[in-house]
Amino acid sequence: MAIPANAVLTFGMVGIREDLTDTITRVDPTETPFYSAADKRKVMAQYHEWQTDTLAAANGSNKAIEGDDATLEARSPTVRVGNRCQISDKVYGVSGSAQAARTAGRQNELGFIRMKAGLELRRDMETILTGSQASSAGATATGAALGALENWLSSNYNGNSGAGTTPGFSSGNVGAVVDSTVVATFVESDLQTLLQTIWEAGGDPDVIMLGAFNKRQASKFAGIATQYRDNPQVGPGVTIGATDVYVSDWGEVAFVPNRFSRGRTVLALQMDMFGVGMYRPMTTHKLAKTGDSEKEQMLCEYTLIVDNEKSSGKVTDRATS
């Protein structure tokens, strides 16, 4: 076989039209399980406060003398706690020419970037809310910082670094988490012990939030890989190699993998005890026009509300690989 002399081939042609599909594909994760599940609450100040309370310990010797004068008992006051509001934003812009261009897969460039910025901002917020950031009031050259979830969980925990990793609330702020240099494999007894501790404190967690590696560790818990079910699409005897709902002595909890929480910490959460306080909900506004471009800022001013941290807990310093 040979190419005929002077045959026109595509390699030398000019003017072949492009074939560009009118779609755009993205696989980056956008699920924000904590932010999506937490109550959205309106807050009225940049430092939002609430109160917690406790009951006296149960008294197994509570017997009164007939006819005796009553003596007032000591009563503990409520505890006033609070968290700082933090501003997170995305700033973007396009030139007039870019906005006028005929584009594939989107109607216009500014709208496309705005949509992406919204997804990115929610991912940032999920990472911040579930992380280990200490709270700070901020200053003229420093942004205020909310106290993140791991820092609040100071009563119920187990891990190698003990109390050093559970700063809790003090003097208007929550301190920074101190990670241990020693990590251990996440095992079932870690979770069982934590759930018992939370139950004894009065909590009722319904979600176990954890990273990818420790979700796999949870799927190795005793009995998981030896259970079977029939699947009408695949056939009988399908092995269950993962666990989504864990039935413990202290109730059922759902395993929820989170791509943005810290992989080294396993969170046991009673979700109705958490809220995201909105001082300024997510909004988009145009920035001043200074030339041949359109500029926008998308921002949210928000905080984490932990109604009572004793409702939940964490397993700290677990291996991530």
276's tokens: 């995201």
Grade residue 35 by pLDDT with cuts at 50, 70 and 90. Answer: very high
Are 29 and 212 a contacting pair, CB within 8 Å?
A: no
Whole-angstrom distance, CA of residue 3 vs CA of residue 127: 60
181's tokens: 């240099």
Render pLDDT for 46-73 as a digit per residue (tens, 0 to 9).
999 999 999 999 999 999 999 999 999 9
Render pLDDT for 68-88 as a digit per residue (tens, 0 to 9).
999 999 999 999 999 999 999
What is the mean pLDDT of the segment spanning 170-175? Answer: 88
Angle 92-95-99 from CA coordinates, rounded to 5°: 95
Are 165 and 179 a contacting pair, CB within 8 Å?
A: yes
Whole-angstrom distance, CA of residue 167 vs CA of residue 175: 5
pLDDT at 235: 52
Are 210 and 257 a contacting pair, CB within 8 Å?
A: yes
Pairing of strands 228-231, 157-158: unpaired
Q: Is the pLDDT of residue 223 over 80?
A: no
Please give the CATH number for the structural domain made up of 30-51+79-315. Answer: 3.90.1690
pTM of the model: 0.88
Whole-angstrom distance, CA of residue 87 vs CA of residue 144: 7
Query: Across-strand partners of 302?
Result: 86, 278
Query: Across-strand partners of 52?
Result: 79
Are 181 and 295 a contacting pair, CB within 8 Å?
A: no
Domains in the chain: boundaries: 30-51+79-315
